Structure 1
Amino acid sequence: MIRFMKAKRNLTALAVAIVLSCMPVLMVFAGQAPVQAKEDKAAENGSQEASNEGQKPAPGKEEEAKPAAANPNVKEPDFPKESAMQIVADNGRYQLKADPKSGHFIVFSKQSEQVWRSYPDPQYWSSQENSKAWRVHLKSPFMFRFVEFKVRRDLLKESNYYEQSGKISSFERINDGFKITYEMPNLGFVIPVQVRLKDDYVETTVLEEGLKDVKEAQKEEAKPNTKANAKSNAKKDPEARLVSLRLFPFFGAQASDGENGFLLIPDGSGALIDFKKDRANTTSFYNERIYGEDWAYSSGTTFSNRLPVRMPVFGIKDGDKGFVAVAHQGAEYASVLAAPSKSFSQYNWTTVEQIYRFKHFQPSNTRRTAGFYTYSKELTAGDRSVRYYLLEEQPDYARMAGRYRQYLMEEVGYERLPASEEGVRLQLHLLGGDTAKGFLWDSYLPLTTTDEAEEIVRQLHYLGVEDMSVVYLGWQKGGYSKAGGHFPVDRRLGGNGGMKRLADFVRSKGFSLFLDARSYTFNNTGRDGFRGSRDGLRDQGSSVIRFRSWNREDETTFVSPRFMEEVVLRDMQKVKELGVDGLLFGDGIGDILNTDYNERYSLTRTESLELQRRLLQTAQEELGRIQLAEGNVYAGKFAEHWDGLSNDYSYDLFVDRTVPFAQIALHGLVSYSFEYANLSGNYTENYLRGIEYGAEPSFVVTSSPSQELLKSKSLNRYYSTYYKDWLEQIVTQYQLYNDALSEVRTEFITDHRALAKGVMETTYANGHRVVVNYNAYPYSNEGLVVQANDFAVIRGGQ
Structure 2
Amino acid sequence: MKYKLILALALVIMIVIAFSPALSYITLSEGNATQQNDSPGEGTDHKTGGGDEEKEISMQKANPELGLAAGAENEHLVLYFDNTTGGIAVRDKASGKMFYSNPPTAKEDQKTSDETKQQLMSQVELVYNIKGKEGDFSLNSYSQALLLEQVSWGKIENGIRVSMTIGRAEQRLLLPKQIGKTSFEENILGKIKSERQKKQMQAFYILNPKEEMPGAVEDVYTLKTSANDRDKRVLEEIVKSTGYTYEMLEQDYEAIGYEPEKAVFPSFSMDIDYILQGNSLTVQLDAGNIVYDEDTFNLVSLSLLKYFGAGETREKGWIFLPDGSGTLIGFNNDGTKKTLLTTGKVYGDDSAVTRFERGSIKQDFRFPVFGIHRGDSTLLAIIDDGDAVADINGMMGGINHSWNTAYANFTIRNKDKFIEENAFEQAPWIIYEKKPYKGNITLKYYFLVGDDADYPGMAKAYRNYLIEKGALKKITAGDNIPFYLETLGSIDMIVRKLGLPISTQVPITTFEQAEGMINRLSQRGVDNIKLRYKAWYNGGYYYTAPSKMKVEKVIGGAGGLSELSKKAQAMGAEVYPDVDFVHVPSSSMFDGFSPRKDSIRNLFQKTAFYAELDPVEQAYMNIMWCITPNRIPEYFNRFSKAYDKLNIRSFSLSTLGKSLYSDFKSNNQINRQEAKDYFVKVLKAASEKYENIISDYGNAYIYPYADHLLNLPEEDSSFLISDKQVPFIQIALHGYIPYAGQALNLANEVRPAMLKAIEYGNGAYFVLNHGEDSILKAAGVYNQQGSMNFSYWEEEAADIYARMNEALRDVQDQAITDHKEVADQVFVTTYENGKSIIVNYSSQKASFKGVTVQPLDFAVIKD
TM-score over 0.5 for the pair: yes
**Partner AA of 1:427 in structure 2:** Y
- Residue 106 (str. 1) matches residue 84 (str. 2): no
- Residue 730 (str. 1) matches residue 813 (str. 2): no
1:462–1:209 CA distance, 2 compared to 1 (3 A): closer
Q: CA deviation at 1:306?
A: 3.8
1:412–1:360 CA distance, 2 compared to 1 (3 A): farther
Quote the residue 1:616 is aligned against. 683
- Residue 632 (str. 1) matches residue 690 (str. 2): no
For residues 105 and 653 of structure 1, the distance between their equivalents in structure 2, rounded to whole angstroms, comes to 34
- Residue 416 (str. 1) matches residue 416 (str. 2): no
Range with bigger deviation, 392-401 or 136-145: 136-145
Aligned length: 686
Task: Kindly report which structure 2 residues correspond to 1:226-241, keeping only aligned pairs within 5 A, or say none.
Answer: 239-241=296-298
Range with bigger deviation, 324-333 or 399-408: 324-333
CA contact (8 A) 1:148 1:241 kept: yes
CA contact (8 A) 1:434 1:479 kept: yes
For residues 215 and 532 of structure 1, the distance between their equivalents in structure 2, rounded to whole angstroms, comes to 33
Range with bigger deviation, 445-454 or 168-177: 168-177
For residues 623 and 333 of structure 2, the distance between their equivalents in structure 1, rounded to whole angstroms, comes to 50
Cα-to-partner distance string for 1:434-493 (whole Å, 9 max, x where unaligned): 112458432222111111111111100001102211111111132212233563211110
**Partner AA of 1:513 in structure 2:** V
1:412–1:334 CA distance, 2 compared to 1 (3 A): farther
CA contact (8 A) 2:652 2:693 kept: yes
What secondary structure does 1:307 align onto?
coil
Quote the residue 1:32 is aligned against. none
**Partner AA of 1:545 in structure 2:** A
Task: Kindly report which structure 2 residues correspond to 1:31-46, keeping only aligned pairs within 5 A, or say none.
Answer: none
- Match of residue 777, structure 1, among 832, 844, 848: 844
For residues 335 and 419 of structure 2, the distance between their equivalents in structure 1, rounded to whole angstroms, comes to 44
1:323–1:713 CA distance, 2 compared to 1 (3 A): same
- Residue 496 (str. 1) matches residue 552 (str. 2): no
Quote the residue 1:479 is aligned against. 540
TM-score by length of structure 1 reads 0.82
For residues 663 and 92 of structure 1, the distance between their equivalents in structure 2, rounded to whole angstroms, comes to 31
**Partner AA of 1:399 in structure 2:** G
CA contact (8 A) 2:396 2:405 kept: yes
Cα-to-partner distance string for 1:78-130 (whole Å, 9 max, x where unaligned): 9967x7311110103221111245322111122211101111252x8753222
What secondary structure does 1:669 align onto?
coil
Quote the residue 1:388 is aligned against. 445
For residues 128 and 90 of structure 2, the distance between their equivalents in structure 1, rounded to whole angstroms, comes to 31
- Residue 120 (str. 1) matches residue 182 (str. 2): no
- Residue 191 (str. 1) matches residue 270 (str. 2): yes
CA contact (8 A) 1:520 1:568 kept: no
Q: CA deviation at 1:303?
A: 5.9
**Partner AA of 2:597 in structure 1:** R
CA contact (8 A) 1:648 1:658 kept: yes
Range with bigger deviation, 722-731 or 160-169: 160-169
Quote the residue 2:142 is aligned against. 162
CA contact (8 A) 2:92 2:447 kept: no
For residues 180 and 168 of structure 1, the distance between their equivalents in structure 2, rounded to whole angstroms, comes to 10
- Match of residue 352, structure 1, among 408, 411, 416: 408
CA contact (8 A) 1:313 1:327 kept: yes
- Match of residue 203, structure 1, among 256, 262, 282: 282
- Match of residue 519, structure 2, among 447, 454, 458: 458
Q: CA deviation at 1:654?
A: 0.9
Q: Which has the larger radius of gyration?
A: 2
- Residue 582 (str. 1) matches residue 564 (str. 2): no
TM-score by length of structure 2 reads 0.76
Quote the residue 2:292 is aligned against. 213
Quote the residue 1:42 is aligned against. none
**Partner AA of 1:661 in structure 2:** F
Task: Kindly report which structure 2 residues correspond to 1:49-64, keeping only aligned pairs within 5 A, or say none.
Answer: none
1:178–1:426 CA distance, 2 compared to 1 (3 A): same
- Residue 251 (str. 1) matches residue 300 (str. 2): no
Range with bigger deviation, 429-438 or 322-331: 429-438
What secondary structure does 1:720 align onto?
coil
- Residue 431 (str. 1) matches residue 431 (str. 2): no
Q: CA deviation at 1:501?
A: 1.3
For residues 718 and 732 of structure 1, the distance between their equivalents in structure 2, rounded to whole angstroms, comes to 22
**Partner AA of 1:177 in structure 2:** G
**Partner AA of 2:287 in structure 1:** E
Q: CA deviation at 1:326?
A: 0.3
CA contact (8 A) 2:472 2:704 kept: yes
1:207–1:695 CA distance, 2 compared to 1 (3 A): same
Range with bigger deviation, 446-455 or 158-167: 158-167
1:385–1:166 CA distance, 2 compared to 1 (3 A): farther
Q: CA deviation at 1:546?
A: 4.2
Q: CA deviation at 1:279?
A: 3.2
What secondary structure does 2:287 align onto?
coil
For residues 124 and 293 of structure 2, the distance between their equivalents in structure 1, rounded to whole angstroms, comes to 19
**Partner AA of 1:203 in structure 2:** T
- Residue 683 (str. 1) matches residue 750 (str. 2): yes
Q: CA deviation at 1:515?
A: 0.6
**Partner AA of 1:194 in structure 2:** D
Quote the residue 1:570 is aligned against. 638
Q: CA deviation at 1:202?
A: 1.4
Quote the residue 1:447 is aligned against. 508
Q: CA deviation at 1:564?
A: 3.0
What secondary structure does 2:522 align onto?
helix
For residues 432 and 148 of structure 2, the distance between their equivalents in structure 1, rounded to whole angstroms, comes to 24
What secondary structure does 1:730 align onto?
helix
For residues 109 and 692 of structure 1, the distance between their equivalents in structure 2, rounded to whole angstroms, comes to 34
Q: CA deviation at 1:507?
A: 0.3
For residues 540 and 132 of structure 2, the distance between their equivalents in structure 1, rounded to whole angstroms, comes to 52
Range with bigger deviation, 660-669 or 303-312: 303-312
For residues 121 and 63 of structure 2, the distance between their equivalents in structure 1, rounded to whole angstroms, comes to 6
C-alpha RMSD of the superposition: 2.6
- Match of residue 174, structure 1, among 151, 156, 166: 156
What secondary structure does 1:328 align onto?
strand
Q: CA deviation at 1:523?
A: 5.1
Range with bigger deviation, 248-257 or 663-672: 248-257
Q: CA deviation at 1:297?
A: 2.4
Quote the residue 2:27 is aligned against. none
**Partner AA of 2:461 in structure 1:** R
**Partner AA of 1:87 in structure 2:** A
For residues 479 and 464 of structure 2, the distance between their equivalents in structure 1, rounded to whole angstroms, comes to 22
What secondary structure does 1:480 align onto?
helix
1:556–1:351 CA distance, 2 compared to 1 (3 A): closer
Quote the residue 2:253 is aligned against. none
Quote the residue 1:130 is aligned against. 112
Q: CA deviation at 1:548?
A: 6.9
**Partner AA of 1:269 in structure 2:** S
Q: CA deviation at 1:776?
A: 1.0
1:481–1:631 CA distance, 2 compared to 1 (3 A): farther
What secondary structure does 1:496 align onto?
helix
What secondary structure does 2:391 align onto?
strand
1:489–1:257 CA distance, 2 compared to 1 (3 A): same
Quote the residue 1:376 is aligned against. 433
**Partner AA of 1:141 in structure 2:** Q
Quote the residue 1:667 is aligned against. 734
CA contact (8 A) 1:283 1:344 kept: no
- Match of residue 579, structure 2, among 517, 538, 541: 517
1:209–1:577 CA distance, 2 compared to 1 (3 A): closer
For residues 546 and 193 of structure 1, the distance between their equivalents in structure 2, rounded to whole angstroms, comes to 37
For residues 757 and 104 of structure 2, the distance between their equivalents in structure 1, rounded to whole angstroms, comes to 39
What secondary structure does 1:400 align onto?
helix
Q: CA deviation at 1:189?
A: 1.5
For residues 419 and 698 of structure 2, the distance between their equivalents in structure 1, rounded to whole angstroms, comes to 32
User: Structure 2 regions of 5+ residues with no counterpart?
Assistant: 1-61, 169-264
- Residue 88 (str. 1) matches residue 146 (str. 2): no
Range with bigger deviation, 733-742 or 532-541: 532-541
CA contact (8 A) 2:85 2:121 kept: no
1:125–1:160 CA distance, 2 compared to 1 (3 A): closer
For residues 530 and 137 of structure 1, the distance between their equivalents in structure 2, rounded to whole angstroms, comes to 49
Cα-to-partner distance string for 1:332-355 (whole Å, 9 max, x where unaligned): 111111112224321110111122
Quote the residue 2:13 is aligned against. none
CA contact (8 A) 2:632 2:682 kept: no
